[in-house]
Amino acid sequence: MRKHRADSWTPSVSVVLLLVALLLVPAVALRASEAVVQVGTFSQLAPGDPLPAHWQPLTFKKIKSHSRYWLATDGDQTVLAAHSHQSASGLVRKISVDLKAFPYINWRWKVDHVYAQGDVARKDGDDYPARIYITFAYDPVQVGFLERAKFETARLVYGETPPMAVLNYFWANRAPRGSFAPNAYTNRAIMIAVQSGSARTGRWVTEKRNVYADYKKAFGREPTAITGVAIMTDTDNTGETGEAWYGDIFFSAE
């Protein structure tokens, strides 16, 4: 895979606004029930219903075309469907999860195809048929003086301090499955190729990731608190068209 030097402070419009949007959604402290913390219980809803209020739409002022998300039936279950055509937008939920008690994130997803022009190492290839973001709280102890000044500036502009780090679990077209790479726009966001290629497109795939271990591998330090989860299917950089479906999302102890 071609190497690309990421600039930690030149994020794209979509990256910046995603992080800002996660700050603006009211925080919800979720409690455990049978060793599970539910994040997205789409299967318990009815097709055609409005999306739950705690999943907030994320749109970008500089991107005129938005991806669409709605509740649909797939087989005998309700799932979250997504469609993107030369567009970008997402859904975000701001939550608080104890990562030491619930280190694993679990979900199901399906994509219709991978993007021919997608490339995790390039800004013009920074589109994915399906991805899940996890954001982490800012900790001034873990950054230097200049970094703290930049976070303080962001706090003054947006009213809250942006997340310090982001993990992106995504479905790649050619990046090796299981590979880690900095986002093409910012090395504060690490991309993890959970699936890659077209071998499993068109069918449901169940995923489980140890977020605690992934964070330590990605950033080389203990994770701060989880502050939010986001879903995105986008094609604004590649100009392609894609569809994806997301099943329930939850954190678990095992």
Q: Does 182 fall in a domain?
A: no
Kindly state whether residue 134 falls inside one of the protein's structural domains. yes
71 assigned to some structural domain: yes
- Predicted model pTM: 0.82
Short-list 201, 253, 242, 239, CA closest to 125: 239
Q: What is the CATH number of the domain that holds 109?
A: 2.60.120
pLDDT digits (tens, 9 = 90+) for 120-146: 999 999 999 999 999 998 665 666 666
Tens of pLDDT, residues 3-46: 333 334 344 444 545 555 544 444 444 444 458 899 999 999 99
Whether residue 110 lies inside any domain: the answer is: yes
Distance, CA of 173 to CA of 190 (rounded, Å): 17
Domain count, the chain: 1
Report if residue 211 sits inside a domain: yes
Q: Determine, yes or no, domain membership for 2.
A: no
Residue 181 lies in a domain: no
Is 7 part of any domain? no
Enumerate residue ranges in the chain where pLDDT < 50. Answer: 1-14, 16, 22-33
Domain range for 166 is 13-47+57-176+189-252
Q: Per DSSP, what are the bridge partners of residue 111? A: 244
| Sign of the torsion angle spanned by Cα atoms 41, 14, 182, 219 | negative
Task: Please provide residue 44's backbone torsions phi and psi, each rounded to the nearest 5 degrees.
Answer: -90, 0
Token pair 């990256």 is found at 15
